[in-house]
Amino acid sequence: MVKDIATARNDFPILSQQINGQPLTYLDNAATTQKPRSVIDALTHYYEFDNANIHRGVYTLAERATEQYEQVRQQVADFIHADRDEIVFTRGTTTSLNWIALGFGAQVLQPGDDIIITVMEHHSNLVPWQQVALQTGANLRYVELTADGELDLAQYRQLLSKKTKIVAFTHVSNVLGTINPVQLMTQLAHEVGAYVVVDGAQAVGHFPVDMTSLDCDFYAFSGHKVYGPTGVGVLYGKREWLKKMNPVEFGGEMINLVQREITDFKAAPEKFEAGTMPIAQVIGLGAALTYIQKIGWSTIETQERRVTAAAYQLLKEIPGVEIYGPEMGPHRSALVTFNLKGVHPHDLATVLDTQGVAVRAGHHCAQPLMQTLGVSATTRASFGLYNQLSDVKRLAAAVRAAKEFFQV
Partner 1 sequence: MNLGHLSDLYRQLILDHAQHPHHRGQLATANQTVNLNNPTCGDVIELSVELKNDRVADIAFNGDGCSISQASASMMTDLVKGQPIAQVRAEIATFLEMLMNDPEVEGADELGDAAILATVVKFPARIKCATLAWKALEQALGEAQQHE
Ligand X SMILES: Cc1ncc(COP(=O)(O)O)c(C=O)c1O
Q: Please give the full DSSP string across 108-125, using - where no structure is assigned.
A: H--TT-EEEEETT--GGG
Give the shortest CB-377-to-partner 1 separation in angstroms: 5
Out of 161, 183, 213, 371, the only residue in the binding site for a copy of itself (CB under 8 A) is: 371
Binding mask 258-297 for a copy of itself (x = CB under 8 A): xxxxxx----------xxxxxxxx----------------
| DSSP code at position 225 | G
Closest CA to 177 of 390, 325, 356, 327: 325
CA distance 345 to 321: 11
Other CB atoms within 10 Å distance of the CB of residue 210 = 12
Judged by DSSP in three states, 391 sits in helix
**193: Cβ contacts below 8 Å, ≥ 6 apart:** 162, 164
Count of positions on this chain that bind ligand X (CB under 6 A): 17
Residue whose CB is less far from a copy of itself, 53 or 290: 53
Which 124-143 residues touch a copy of itself, going by CB under 8 A? 124, 126-128, 130-131, 140, 142
Is 365 an annotated catalytic residue?
Answer: yes
Out of 25, 75, 136, 174, the only residue in the binding site for ligand X (CB under 6 A) is: 174
Catalytic residue among 365, 366, 385, 399: 365
CA distance 16 to 118: 39
CA distance 315 to 399: 8
Out of 112, 137, 275, 329, the only residue in the binding site for ligand X (CB under 6 A) is: 275
| DSSP code at position 2 | P
Give the shortest CB-54-to-ligand X separation in angstroms: 10
Asked if residue 342 binds ligand X (CB under 6 A), the reply is no
> Long-range contact list for 125-131, CB < 8 A, 24+ apart?
125/97, 125/168, 125/169, 125/170, 125/197, 125/199, 126/368, 128/97, 128/98, 128/100, 128/101, 128/102, 129/101, 129/105, 129/166, 129/168, 131/101
Q: Which does 278 bind (CB under 5 to 8 A by kind): ligand X, a copy of itself, partner 1, none?
A: a copy of itself
Which 14-43 residues touch partner 1, going by CB under 8 A? 20
Out of 50, 86, 150, 199, the only residue in the binding site for ligand X (CB under 6 A) is: 199
Q: Please give the full DSSP string across 243-290, using - where no structure is assigned.
A: HHSPPSS--TTSEEEE-SS-EEE--TTGGG--SS--HHHHHHHHHHHH
CA distance 133 to 113: 9
Contact in structure between 169 and 122 (CB atoms under 8 Å): no
Which 195-254 residues touch partner 1, going by CB under 8 A? 253
Asked if residue 252 binds ligand X (CB under 6 A), the reply is yes
Residue whose CB is less far from partner 1, 55 or 244: 55
**243: Cβ contacts below 8 Å, ≥ 6 apart:** 267, 268
Residue whose CB is less far from ligand X, 172 or 351: 172
Stretch of 183-191, 330-338, 366-374, 399-407 lying at the interface with a copy of itself (CB under 8 A): 366-374
Which 343-382 residues touch partner 1, going by CB under 8 A? 344-347, 350-351, 353-355, 361-363, 367, 370, 376-377
Other CB atoms within 10 Å distance of the CB of residue 157 = 13
Residue whose CB is less far from partner 1, 252 or 319: 252
Which 51-70 residues touch partner 1, going by CB under 8 A? 55-59, 62-63, 67
Closest CA to 366 of 405, 404, 324, 406: 324
Give the shortest CB-329-to-a copy of itself separation in angstroms: 28
Asked if residue 155 binds a copy of itself (CB under 8 A), the reply is no
Give the shortest CB-230-to-ligand X separation in angstroms: 8
Asked if residue 304 binds ligand X (CB under 6 A), the reply is no
Stretch of 87-95, 132-140, 289-297, 328-336 lying at the interface with ligand X (CB under 6 A): 87-95
Residue whose CB is less far from ligand X, 92 or 384: 92
Angle between helices 297-316 and 279-295 (to 10 degrees): 80
Stretch of 51-59, 74-82, 207-215, 391-399 lying at the interface with a copy of itself (CB under 8 A): 51-59
Q: Which does 170 bind (CB under 5 to 8 A by kind): ligand X, a copy of itself, partner 1, none?
A: ligand X
Closest CA to 384 of 309, 304, 268: 304
**207: Cβ contacts below 8 Å, ≥ 6 apart:** 297, 300, 301, 333
Asked if residue 405 binds a copy of itself (CB under 8 A), the reply is no
| DSSP code at position 85 | G
Question: Which residues sit at the interface with ligand X, rule CB under 6 A?
Answer: 30, 92-94, 122, 124-125, 170, 174, 199, 201-202, 222, 252, 275-276, 365
**Residues recognised as catalytic:** 365
